[in-house]
Amino acid sequence: MITDYAGISPRGDLLLLQRLGERLAGKSFLHVNSTRLGGGVAEILQRMVPILRELGIEARWEILEGDQKFFDITKKIHNALQGDQVEISPEMWEYHYEVNKKNAERLDLDADAVLIHDPQPVPLVLFRKRGRWIWRCHIDLSNPAAGVARFLKRYCRQYDAAIFSVAKFVMPMAIDQFIIQPSIDPLSEKNRDVRKEEIEETTGRLGIPQDRPIILQVSRYDRFKDPIGVIKAYRMVKKYNDCILVLAGSPATDDPEGEVVLKAVTDFAADDPDIHVLMLPPNSDRDINVLQRVATVILQKSLKEGFGLTVSEGMWKGKPVVGGAAGGIPVQIVNGTNGFLVHSVEGAAFRIRQLLNNPEMAQEMGRRGQDHVRTNFLMTRQIRDYLSVWYSLERKGKGKGKGVFLEP
């Protein structure tokens, strides 16, 4: 399986994975999160666990179980950590703990390394048996509700280390805190190469013409993704360049605002036949893949963003990306090199026009973007970094200096 990435991922990443695998072979590595399906974490774990096993590591993936009440509470905790001023009562924290305690009795937490994903299973650390415990936070903690962050830190401090996606998401704590960016899987349905027939079938079925340049934004119908701003930018562009706008999203069961925003978007699009507002079923990965491949310019005009991996997905298909300077988007777009960072509707419109009028520049930016993703945002790099952190924790206090040299 790891050999499938040869010629796609940087050779050094694959070699280091092998080297680290040799050193960690036979050891156990447990991942715990709260869902096996849906969301970026589950998507990556589905691919990562078999690769870790192939490297000789006894990797396991366990799911935290909880009832509706538990997940209502953890959704509130999630929102509070992302900045919503939500109160979490002592009873709610108590229930959060109790559900984790029950899971600790059910799950086998005995492992050499345990990676706990996100806040739902964070109290499991209180039931640790042995090994290195690492908390992997996938969400933006740069501006959390203070009381919620303070409470959460009681658990986090019990870990050996924490991992965040971007430096600005880090919550100051007296444990080692590493920065590991998320990644895309180049071999997944969403990112693999597609055949010409697949492109024809998908665009035909979705009713997307290919006779003019296509501007695409793939995102949930969420006001922070600014779909109305995207339509405004398209209308500014349309005065100068004939083009098509495609907005593609899927329903999110945990987002009650989704339908309201979708209605606002369809109302605002009115009867413009060149605006295609698509509500795709969940798991429409191949459709998304095709849309990104037929797009001329990809937009991610977010006002607020977690990491925004749709940017890397677009770049991987060799497309120039215009993105809002929010969350992890500036980490992916090097402004003016592999895309453009914008701060307004006008800025987005101007950059789209620039790209539509300079196809050579657009092509070159797309090429650089693909190269940037290859070096920095492929899944093999993320696994490499996880193993590097684990290995460095194993070696803590051993050897001279801070660096690690891996002899053959």
Partner 1 sequence: MERAAKWFEFKECVIVPKSTGKKAKNLKELRTLLGRVSDESIAHHTYQYFLSGRVLEYTNAFALWAGESLGEKGLSEHLSNIDPYSFSKIEALRHELLKAIDSRLSVLPRPRDAMAGDEFFFSESLTLTFPVRIRARNLAEFLMAVRYVDRSCIYYHFYEARRRLGGGADDFSKWFSASLGQEALAEKIGSIDPFMHTLDGIREHIAVAVEDEVRKAMEELSS
**Cβ nearer to partner 1, comparing 258 with 330:** 330
**Cβ nearer to partner 1, comparing 91 with 407:** 407
361 binds partner 1, rule: CB under 8 A: no
The region of 25-33, 173-181, 239-247, 254-262 touching partner 1 under the rule CB under 8 A is 173-181
Q: Which of 79, 142, 158, 188 binds partner 1 (CB under 8 A)?
A: 142
92 binds partner 1, rule: CB under 8 A: no
Q: Using alpha carbons only, what angle is made at residue 369 by residues 275 and 332, rounded to the nearest 5 degrees?
A: 85
**Residue in the block written with tokens 């908390």:** 135
DSSP letters of 363-401?
A: HHHHHHHHHHHHHHSBHHHHHHHHHHHHHHHHTTT-SSS
150 binds partner 1, rule: CB under 8 A: no
168 binds partner 1, rule: CB under 8 A: yes
153 binds partner 1, rule: CB under 8 A: no
Q: Return the structure tokens found at 112.
A: 């050499």
**Cβ nearer to partner 1, comparing 166 with 215:** 166
Distance separating alpha carbons of residues 148 and 279, to the nearest angstrom: 34
Size of the site for partner 1 (CB under 8 A): 35
Site map (CB under 8 A) of partner 1, residues 179-198, x = contact: xx------------------
Provide the pairing of β-strand 321-324 with 297-300.
parallel
Distance separating alpha carbons of residues 19 and 4, to the nearest angstrom: 18
Q: Which of 95, 135, 164, 234 binds partner 1 (CB under 8 A)?
A: 164
Q: Cβ 172 to partner 1, closest distance in Å? A: 4
DSSP 5: G
| Span 9-28, contacts to partner 1 by CB under 8 A | 10-13, 15-16, 19
Q: Which of 210, 344, 358, 375 binds partner 1 (CB under 8 A)?
A: 375
Q: Which of 71, 151, 178, 268 binds partner 1 (CB under 8 A)?
A: 178
Distance separating alpha carbons of residues 38 and 240, to the nearest angstrom: 40
Helix (H) or strand (E) holding 311: helix 310-316
Question: What angle, 0 to 180 degrees and rounded to 10, lies between the N-to-C axes of helices 345-357 and 359-376?
Answer: 110
Q: Which of 79, 86, 388, 394 binds partner 1 (CB under 8 A)?
A: 388
* Strands laid side by side in the 297-300 sheet: 275-279, 244-249, 214-218, 297-300, 321-324, 339-342
Q: Which of 90, 172, 207, 273 binds partner 1 (CB under 8 A)?
A: 172
Burial class of 150 by CB neighbour count within 10 A (0 to 12, 13 to 18, 19+)? exposed
Q: Which of 1, 146, 167, 361 binds partner 1 (CB under 8 A)?
A: 167
Distance separating alpha carbons of residues 243 and 78, to the nearest angstrom: 39
Q: Which of 40, 149, 334, 367 binds partner 1 (CB under 8 A)?
A: 334
Burial 69-79 (b: 16+ CB within 10 A, else e): ebbebbebbbe
303 binds partner 1, rule: CB under 8 A: no
Q: Return the structure tokens found at 54.
A: 């192939």
- Spell out the residues 6+ positions from residue 93 whose beta carbon is closer than 8 angstroms to its own: 151
Asked whether the beta carbons of 370 and 316 are under 8 A apart, the reply is yes
**Cβ nearer to partner 1, comparing 180 with 275:** 180
**Cβ nearer to partner 1, comparing 37 with 404:** 404
DSSP 280: P
Q: Cβ 369 to partner 1, closest distance in Å? A: 13
404 binds partner 1, rule: CB under 8 A: yes
136 binds partner 1, rule: CB under 8 A: no
Q: Which of 2, 139, 173, 280 binds partner 1 (CB under 8 A)?
A: 173
Q: Cβ 238 to partner 1, closest distance in Å? A: 31
**Cβ nearer to partner 1, comparing 177 with 292:** 177
Question: What angle, 0 to 180 degrees and rounded to 10, lies between the N-to-C axes of helices 227-238 and 258-269?
Answer: 20
List residues bridging with 134 in a β-sheet.
Answer: 115, 161
222 binds partner 1, rule: CB under 8 A: no
399 binds partner 1, rule: CB under 8 A: no
**Cβ nearer to partner 1, comparing 143 with 358:** 143
Residue 34, SS3? coil
Q: Which chain residues interact with partner 1 by CB under 8 A? A: 10-13, 15-16, 19, 142-143, 164, 167-168, 170, 172-173, 176-180, 334, 375, 384-385, 388-389, 391-392, 402-408
